[in-house]
Structure 1
Amino acid sequence: MTLKGIKLRIYPNEFQIQHIEMNFGCVRKVWNLMLSMQKDRYENNPDCKFVSNFDMNILLPLLKKEYPYLKQVESTSLQCVNKDLSEAFKKFFEEHTGYPRFKSRKYSRQSYQSKYVNHNIKQINDSYIKLPKLGEMKFKCGRDIPEVIKSVTIRRSPAGKYYAMLTVEDENQAFDKTQAQVGLDMGVADLIITSDAIKFPTIRFDKLLAKKKLNWERKLARRRSLAVKDRAKTKKIGLIEPRPLEDYKNVQKAKRMVAKYSEKVASQRRDYIHKITTKLVQDYDVITIEDLKSSNMLKNHNLARVIANQSWRMIRTMLEYKCEWYGKKLVVVNPFKTSQYCAECGYDDGKHELNIRQWICPNCNSNNDRDINASKNILKKGLEQALVK
């Protein structure tokens, strides 16, 4: 059995939205209180023992007495906050990932997690699902939901949409063995080039909606500027308190529209990469890719936006977990000189500029497509590396 995540688009009514927003506020309150307690405790006595997840859960009943509204929300969501905070401190001490920060209600992406207890999460039918403290709610999903559900995370996106991420236990699946092997070269003109000379084209989803998004970005900048001037004018008069920026409905509408188009671009890109990676895992038993350092490549300001649009890290992440799910093998190799060596004879022809897409090997006179040649070298490296292991 394997733990998997399923993302549902949910459609709460007004009462359910109010309860969800209240739960967002309560988990944020508990996080900030516990973080403040940990911080003050360490400042007062650096040698004191760290308060663990279990110890923080013991403090929850005391907090509910002090803040009665915490009793109205889903109880396991508050326990999950303590677990997340404990994990954040663990990463800070062991991996030096950064000190945990306080949460703000102004952050557009809010979420909370609830555990599966006494059948509080279950699918009613193809259109409705039961969620903790929320009852039945309409949803949309592109696949069947397994019976064993471990937890659910309710999330509100910057565009104002609500989602439920289910952690489920699913049976291990395996694609049929094909005995095929492939090397993948990540590109800019083409997203993925295989050693079998198959090219998956790059689709600039950001350009498809660029005009509409730019229009709303301009509206947002103009409306925000007018709101700031209005606040300054009200403050100068001094008769009434200036309204917060969140109370300007036209500003918030423009902000949601910008987020909506950004979310749509990300969703289209993710869906495209899902289809490609699933096809690759289904068709090949061994997949070899480069260990690319995208952060270094983004320093090239002429290509930074294009490289960021390619989402190479997302491709690698999807291939990693899909190969594990479906019984295939992924090999990651060093990209050193993969585009310089001739795949036919191994001759090193030196560095080629990006505008050179084809070159003839001086040693064996073979005409090499730059990307296909690189993917063949990546496959060779991967097979050698797999044999060594």
Structure 2
Amino acid sequence: MTLKGIKVKLYPTVAQQEAIENNFRLNRFLWNQLLGMQLAGHENGGSFVTKFGMNYLIKVMKIEFPFLKEAESTSFLYTSADLADSYDRFFKKQNGFPKFKSRRRPKNSYKSNCVNGNIQVVDNHYLKLPKVGLVKANGLHRVKDKIKSVVIHKKADGTFEATLQVAFEATTFESTGKSVGIDLGIADLAIQSDGYKLPNKQFERSLAKQKRQWERKLARRRQQALVKIEQAKAQEIELELSDFKNVQKAKEQVARINKKIANQRNNYLQQYTTSLVKKYDLIVLEDLKTKNLLQNRQLARSIADAAWAKIKSMLAYKCEWYGKELVLVNPAYTSQTCSHCGENTGKKPLRIRTFACPHCHTTGIDRDVNAAINILNKALAQR
């Protein structure tokens, strides 16, 4: 059995929203309490408390803080597991030290485990959630298998989503015997060794004007609100940015635009990657370090909009699901090497779009297609 996530949109009532947001608050409170205990224990010469030790502490804390019983109990187990994982990454020098969670910048999500049918799909229109009840939802018709867990998330635009982790039996696609190398680019998002080019629709730039207008409104309204907050402090009146509705409206508008961009890009890449795993048995990509490439200030925005890492991650799990093979190769010299004779011809300016080899006199081939063929050849040479 394989696990996959299915996102559905939730439409909770006012009372259900309060229950969900209360669970956010309680999990945030638990995180801060457990982190505080870890720090206090360290200062007193104690050792790090493992995930299982923190799970025992949760039972004790429910006695000391009875209101914790209002939360969905399995969500606390995931909170302690997340804290233990944060410490583990810190010890491995992969991340910084775990921090206390602020209510001003909250992580509006929690995860619940499916136990004894406490999470169910009802009539394809309602999702039964523990401590919340039947929540109206859109997209539940895609849930055909057993639910393992659910993550409830409140988006920045104020909407609610649930990501259901379900177990399903993956069916392999029919073998085609075909292989393809893919060169990721900016002008064209993906260039295949067979000559096909996937256009880069640049979803962010299509909404750039609208997004920029609302970002400016948000910055202006926030600045005006901060001035009023300072004036209120002089009169001993407590105000926060969340008290200004015009600031929250602008913030939600920016979030809606960002969400629309992300949805459009995700849908575009999902369709493309699915077509690849249906058509090819072997798919070869460059093992690009996107983080390093983003240091190029001139191309950083275009590279981020292209979402190369997302293409790689989508192909990784789809190839695993459907019985295909994904190979990552070293990107060194793929654009400089002749795909016909294998000789290195050196760097060429980006304005030169046609590859010409002075050694074997190969001409008329697109430089990106030439790179894609080299990518494929590298993988075939390793087999």
* TM-score w.r.t. length of structure 1: 0.95
* 1:310 correspondence with 2:306: yes
Please state how far the C-alpha of 1:108 moved relative to its aligned partner: 5.4
| Alpha carbons 2:41, 2:47 under 8 Å: kept | no
* 1:261 correspondence with 2:257: yes
* 1:161 correspondence with 2:159: yes
Corresponding residue number in structure 2 for 1:74? 72
| Alpha carbons 2:118, 2:129 under 8 Å: kept | yes
Q: Deviations over 1:71-123 (max 9, x none)?
A: 11211111221122122222222353222221122225410111111111111
Please state how far the C-alpha of 1:356 moved relative to its aligned partner: 1.0
Corresponding residue number in structure 2 for 1:374? 371
| Alpha carbons 2:6, 2:142 under 8 Å: kept | no
* 1:200 correspondence with 2:198: yes
Corresponding residue number in structure 1 for 2:35? 35
Distance 2:38 2:232 in 1: 40
| Alpha carbons 1:219, 1:254 under 8 Å: kept | yes
Distance 1:196 1:117 in 2: 49
Distance 1:204 1:78 in 2: 40
Q: 1:211 aligns with which of 209, 212, 229?
A: 209
Q: 2:292 aligns with which of 288, 293, 296?
A: 296
Gaps of 5+ in 2: none
RMSD of the alignment, in Å?
Answer: 1.4
Matches within 5 A, 1:10-21: 10-21=10-21
Q: 1:351 to 1:142 in 2, by over 3 A?
A: farther
Distance 1:89 1:371 in 2: 43
| Alpha carbons 1:189, 1:202 under 8 Å: kept | yes
Task: Work out the percentage of aligned pairs sharing the same amino acid.
Answer: 47
Please state how far the C-alpha of 1:142 moved relative to its aligned partner: 7.3
Distance 2:172 2:186 in 1: 32
Q: 2:87 aligns with which of 76, 86, 89?
A: 89
Larger displacement relative to structure 2 (355-364 or 306-315): 355-364
Corresponding residue number in structure 1 for 2:142? 144
Q: Secondary structure at the match of 2:175?
A: coil
One-letter code of the match for 2:198? F
Larger displacement relative to structure 2 (141-150 or 354-363): 141-150
| Alpha carbons 1:109, 1:157 under 8 Å: kept | no
Distance 2:74 2:243 in 1: 32
Distance 2:77 2:247 in 1: 36
* TM-score w.r.t. length of structure 2: 0.96
Corresponding residue number in structure 2 for 1:342? 338
Corresponding residue number in structure 1 for 2:169? 171
Please state how far the C-alpha of 1:302 moved relative to its aligned partner: 1.6
Please state how far the C-alpha of 1:143 moved relative to its aligned partner: 5.3
Please state how far the C-alpha of 1:185 moved relative to its aligned partner: 0.2
Please state how far the C-alpha of 1:146 moved relative to its aligned partner: 3.0
Q: 1:95 to 1:242 in 2, by over 3 A?
A: closer
Please state how far the C-alpha of 1:139 moved relative to its aligned partner: 1.1
Please state how far the C-alpha of 1:365 moved relative to its aligned partner: 2.5
| Alpha carbons 2:287, 2:329 under 8 Å: kept | yes
Q: 2:273 aligns with which of 277, 281, 290?
A: 277
Distance 2:293 2:77 in 1: 41
Larger displacement relative to structure 2 (161-170 or 369-378): 161-170
Distance 2:292 2:162 in 1: 35
Q: Deviations over 1:194-247 (max 9, x none)?
A: 0000000001111121122112111111111111111222233x2x41311111
Corresponding residue number in structure 2 for 1:110? 108
* 1:223 correspondence with 2:205: no
Larger displacement relative to structure 2 (100-109 or 17-26): 100-109
Larger displacement relative to structure 2 (147-156 or 357-366): 357-366
Q: Secondary structure at the match of 2:381?
A: helix
